[in-house]
């Protein structure tokens, strides 16, 4: 079935013809869905721990994961989630392919955000996303539309890009869920924690400047 849905908050491309017409097919194929499914489902413990038929690998930065900011004492900035090297390589490759899909859709308007040099471009020069999830879903599960308040809300960076495919199940998935198909989903985000960080950085810098000026003035009057 080939169908395209477009509205003020949603664009859907369904099928090979839609993807090809939008210039997305090359980047979509780079996501290597079958290989991703094998990587996702290679841990039986992870499969059995999910009651919803839902397993995932998360990468990038999350709002609950911070580290000390060396350039601004007293401030914490979002930190990269720790994964093994092979998983990071896989995730970054798919993030870059998703970036190419986004640029094919909306051009370069997302490039140049100060977030990119702080985090996204350190992962890869072609990356602009800050969060990534590779998820395997049961075909019988129903995921409803929802609001994620952890994503960036600025109009220029509030995109959430999703690329999915129904693939043949890896044997481990079949053994646990007794289903012959798996919905594999790639999701990329811009994260609100980075906009929060820059707002905090501006505030701290302003306070530090005022304190320095006060102390300098006090010293000159003594």
Interatomic CA distance for residues 20 and 188, integer angstroms: 21
- What is the reported pLDDT for 139? 79
Q: How far apart are the first and last CA of the chain?
A: 81
Instruction: Provide CB contacts within 8 A for 44, sequence distance 6+.
Output: 172, 175, 176
pLDDT (tens, 9 = 90+) of the chain, 222 residues, equals: 445 556 567 788 888 899 999 899 999 999 999 888 888 877 766 666 665 557 888 888 866 656 656 666 566 777 788 888 988 999 999 999 999 998 888 877 666 666 677 778 888 988 888 889 998 887 776 667 766 777 776 666 777 899 999 988 777 777 777 778 888 999 998 887 777 777 777 777 677 667 777 777 776 665
* Residue from 170, 46, 31, 150 nearest 99 by CA: 31
Interatomic CA distance for residues 130 and 120, integer angstroms: 6
Residue 194, both tokens: 């980075």
pTM: 0.80
- 136 in Cβ contact with 49 (< 8 Å): no
Interatomic CA distance for residues 3 and 125, integer angstroms: 34
- 59 in Cβ contact with 88 (< 8 Å): yes
- 20 in Cβ contact with 101 (< 8 Å): no
- What is the reported pLDDT for 1? 46
- What is the reported pLDDT for 135? 87
- What is the reported pLDDT for 165? 92
Interatomic CA distance for residues 63 and 190, integer angstroms: 11
């Amino acid at each position: 079935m080939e169908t395209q849905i477009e509205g003020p908050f949603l664009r859907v491309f369904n099928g090979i013809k839609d993807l090809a017409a939008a210039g997305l097919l090359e980047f979509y194929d780079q996501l290597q869905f079958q290989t991703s499914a094998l990587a996702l489902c290679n841990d039986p413990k992870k499969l059995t721990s999910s009651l919803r038929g839902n397993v995932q690998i998360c990468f990038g930065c999350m709002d609950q994961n911070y580290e000390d900011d060396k350039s601004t004492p007293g401030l914490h900035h979002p930190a990269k989630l720790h994964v093994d090297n092979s998983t990071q390589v896989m995730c970054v490759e798919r993030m870059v392919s998703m970036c190419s899909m986004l640029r094919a859709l909306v051009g370069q308007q997302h490039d140049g955000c100060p977030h990119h040099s702080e985090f996204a471009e350190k992962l890869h020069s072609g990356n602009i996303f800050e969060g990534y999830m590779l998820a395997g879903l049961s075909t019988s599960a129903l995921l409803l539309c929802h609001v994620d308040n952890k994503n960036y809300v600025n109009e220029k960076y509030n995109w959430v890009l999703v690329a999915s495919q129904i693939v043949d199940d890896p044997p481990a998935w079949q053994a646990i869920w007794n289903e012959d198909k798996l919905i594999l989903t790639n999701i990329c985000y811009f994260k609100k924690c980075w906009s929060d960080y820059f707002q905090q950085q501006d505030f701290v810098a302003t306070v530090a400047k005022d304190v320095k000026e006060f102390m300098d003035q006090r010293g000159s009057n003594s």
